[in-house]
Amino acid sequence: MSSPSRVDLLLDLADDELILGWRNSEWTGIAPFLEEDVAFSSIAQNEIGHARALYELAARELGTDADAVAFDRPVAEYRSAPLVELRRLEWARTIARHWLYETADAVRLEVLKASDDAELAGIAAKIDREEVYHRIHAEMWIDRLLGSDEGRPRLDAALDELWPYALGVLDDELRPELVTRVEAKLGRSLPDVDPVPRGKHETELADLLEEMTSVRRSAPAGARW
Amino acid sequence: METMDARTEDRTESFLAHVQSGGLVETGDWMPDEYRKRLTKFIEMHANSELMGVLPERDWILRAPTLQRKLALTAKIQDEVGHAQLLYRVVEDLGKPREVCLDDLIAGKSKFHNVFHYPTRTWGDVGVIAWLVDAAAIISQKALLKCSYAPYARIMRKICWEESFHILHGRDVILTLVTGTDAQRELVQEALDRWWAPLMMFHGNPIPAEDDPMVRWRIKSQPNEEARQQFLEGYVPQVWELGLTLPDPKLRRGDDGVWAYTEPDWNELMAVVSGHGPASQERLAFRRLSRTEVDWVARTVLAEAA
């Protein structure tokens, strides 16, 4: 019998990946370049794949299936961080979110990879093998925007705006590591602000879930799709 | 001047003889202006269609009812963007840069396939598009494997390979729905009723091969009607086998194996592909808006590349 906190931990990650997976695929067909369209779509597929693997583990403990965990809970039970819930952002903010999330996720995955729970450590390692490429992609864009007269102010404003949300991805004890990594890369300090914590949902999440489950809810529970 | 013209004429004649006897053309080879123009326009329309084909499906990534369907649909749409990328590269090699193609597309100066001018209303549409629209497309694309322009034919091999998976995905969505609840089954029937007319127009009006300059240059090798007959022969029996109906009382297979059908409204096809379809303007407006939004990103990256 596992403690409920293990399920909560799985759902923190899974909900983040599912919701961000969708937010990233909002660029499908309309990214600034076809190459970026393909890249964000790959990243979205990885994230939804990670979510599925995590939901499967959670579902086993909850005695249900991954789709039911992913789609059939009330909004209030979603554990995603508000950072991933924000509706499709314009490009500078998309890149800021992408990089802040991937950096925070790396901090979190390093801890999980060292977990005594072999199953959790294993899935974290598997996820991290793909996240490496997301981080490379995000950093490439950070460098590109920082190196551009037009991109830099846009990115800086986006980072400052999203910073409280980024802090909210992690628990208290992991936040200092995120601050260190982000400030080292940017070569500047970020505003000293209160995090927007996990569980405090943006209204975007309710709208998102309403639409996300609209087809699924149109047939009685248990229908195959 | 006269000698130049005579020389060009000779070259054109031997080029025509070359392609008509199965010869291939590579990017750096000399080609008549008319060939280059027709080829460019044709491949550009193909690229535009792959790109515009993303729009009717993209909203359904969010609404896909299971994690597996969400992954499959995202991957399918990504394939299409990838196809557009490859095809615009071929067009670029023929002399028209990608950015110009995209400008022409949003300005309504170039065309895209008729089926992408219609709205997607239900999850049933997602299945019908992936199964039958992609099935219709793969028939044309398989014929293009024999295109005289070798770089295009080579890309078509990859595209056909990927499209065949889309059809399997689409068929699986359809099979799951028709074996589900009555309402799920009705989703398929209702979508099929709406999509049948656009599907029948998909391969174009029946131009005799001898009158089709695209066939003369062996850019295309399959007459339109032959493609449509192949589609009907391959898919109508499958649709009927699932207990679904098609909204054409004249549709039947003759003893000679030729399918009879109600003549599609070719004027509607012309109107639709020239930007007067039910969703044409909305889709172009969406693409214009999103292009304006990310304009500064292109400036930034292009400045860096310069």
Q: Which of A2-16, A90-104, B231-245, B281-295 has the lowest mean pLDDT?
A: A2-16
Tokens 């056909």 identify what position?
B160
- The answer to the question of residue A223 being in a domain is no
Inter-chain CB pairs, A–B, below 8 Å: 128
Structural domain count of chain A: 1
Helices A4-25, A91-113: crossing angle, 10 deg rounding = 150
- Is there a contact between B30 and B12 (Cβ–Cβ < 8 Å)? no
Tokens 């089954």 identify what position?
B185
Vertex A192: Cα angle to A154 and A90 (nearest 5): 25
DSSP string, B89-100: HHHHHTT--HHH
Q: Which of B107-111, B270-274, B299-303 has the lowest mean pLDDT?
A: B299-303
Would an 8 Å CB–CB cutoff place B302 in contact with chain A? no
Tokens representing A12 are 């923190």
Q: Which of B48, B55, B62 to mutate to test the interface with A (most CBs of A within 10 A)?
A: B62
Tokens representing B21 are 């006897």
Would an 8 Å CB–CB cutoff place B78 in contact with chain A? yes
Note which residues in 142-181 of chain A have CB less than 8 A from chain B: 144-145, 147-148, 150-151, 154
Is the pLDDT confidence value at A2 over 50?
Answer: no
In total, chain B counts a number of residues equal to 306
| CB contacts, 8 Å: B75 with chain A | 41, 45
For residue B34, give Cα distances in angstroms to A36, B40, B84. Answer: 34, 10, 24
Q: Half-sphere exposure of B90 toward its Cβ, with a 13 Å CA cutoff? A: 26
What is the CATH number for A33? 1.20.1260.10
What is the least distance, in Å, from the CA of A176 to any CA of chain B? Answer: 32
Residue B181: which region, alpha, beta or left (left: phi > 0; alpha: psi -120 to 50)? Answer: beta
- Is there a contact between B63 and B118 (Cβ–Cβ < 8 Å)? no
Would an 8 Å CB–CB cutoff place A45 in contact with chain B? yes
Nearest to A225 among B176, B297, B299 (CB): B176
Q: What is the ipTM of this complex?
A: 0.94
CA-nearest of B37, B17, B208, B48 to B112 is B48
What is the least distance, in Å, from the CA of B224 to any CA of chain A? Answer: 29
Phi, psi of A18 (to 5 degrees): -65, -50
- Is there a contact between A127 and A120 (Cβ–Cβ < 8 Å)? no
CB contact under 8 A, B71 and A151: no
Summarize the confidence of residues B78-87 as an average pLDDT. 97
CB contact under 8 A, A34 and B85: yes
Is the pLDDT confidence value at A107 over 60?
Answer: yes
Neighbours of B20 (CB within 10 A): 13
Average pLDDT, chain B: 95
CA distance B89 to B153: 13
- Is there a contact between B76 and B166 (Cβ–Cβ < 8 Å)? yes
- The answer to the question of residue A222 being in a domain is no
- Is there a contact between B163 and B137 (Cβ–Cβ < 8 Å)? yes
Q: Which of B66, B91, B126, B174 to mutate to test the interface with A (most CBs of A within 10 A)?
A: B66
SS3 B259: strand
CB contact under 8 A, B299 and A150: yes
CA distance A115 to A132: 19
CB contact under 8 A, B63 and A212: yes
Tokens 């977990």 identify what position?
A115
Q: Which residue range forms the structural domain that includes residue A149?
A: 4-217
Nearest to B123 among A25, A215, A224 (CB): A215
Summarize the confidence of residues B265-280 as an average pLDDT. 96
Is the domain covering B116-147+156-305 a CATH 2.40.50.140 domain?
Answer: no
Q: Is the dihedral of CA B259, B261, B266, B270 positive or negative?
A: negative
pLDDT band (50, 70, 90) for residue A207? very high
* Whole-number pLDDT of residue B3: 60
Neighbours of B215 (CB within 10 A): 18
Note which residues in 180-209 of chain B have CB less than 8 A from chain A: 180-181, 183-184
CA distance B48 to B40: 12
DSSP 8-class letter at B252: E
Task: Give me the residue spans of the domains in chain B.
Answer: 116-147+156-305
Tokens representing A79 are 């554990």
CA distance A144 to B13: 51
* Whole-number pLDDT of residue B2: 52
| % of chain A with per-residue pLDDT over 70 | 98
More confident residue, A62 or B301: A62
Is the pLDDT confidence value at A117 over 50?
Answer: yes
Residue B31: which region, alpha, beta or left (left: phi > 0; alpha: psi -120 to 50)? Answer: beta
- Is there a contact between B16 and B217 (Cβ–Cβ < 8 Å)? yes
Summarize the confidence of residues B85-91 as an average pLDDT. 98
DSSP string, A44-105: HHHHHHHHHHHHHHHHHHHTS-HHHHHHSS-GGG----HHHHS----HHHHHHHHHHHHHHH
CB contact under 8 A, A67 and B54: no
- Is there a contact between B69 and A45 (Cβ–Cβ < 8 Å)? no
> How do residues A165-202 score in pLDDT, each as one tens digit?
999 999 999 999 999 999 999 999 999 999 999 988 87
Summarize the confidence of residues A124-136 as an average pLDDT. 97
* Whole-number pLDDT of residue A4: 47
Q: Which of B57, B58, B68, B74 to mutate to test the interface with A (most CBs of A within 10 A)?
A: B74
Is the pLDDT confidence value at B90 over 60?
Answer: yes
* Whole-number pLDDT of residue A1: 42
From A92, which residue of chain B is nearest by alpha-carbon distance?
B297
Helices A118-146, A91-113: crossing angle, 10 deg rounding = 150
More confident residue, B4 or B120: B120
> How do residues B215-234 score in pLDDT, each as one tens digit?
999 999 999 999 999 999 99
Would an 8 Å CB–CB cutoff place B55 in contact with chain A? yes
What is the least distance, in Å, from the CA of B40 to any CA of chain A? Answer: 19
| CB contacts, 8 Å: B64 with chain A | 215
From A28, which residue of chain B is nearest by alpha-carbon distance?
B58
CA-nearest of A194, A188, A53, A37 to A130 is A53
pLDDT band (50, 70, 90) for residue B5? confident
CB contact under 8 A, A45 and B77: no
Q: Which of A20, A34, A47 to mutate to test the interface with B (most CBs of B within 10 A)?
A: A34
CB contact under 8 A, B181 and A91: no
Summarize the confidence of residues B267-275 as an average pLDDT. 96
Summarize the confidence of residues B112-134 as an average pLDDT. 97
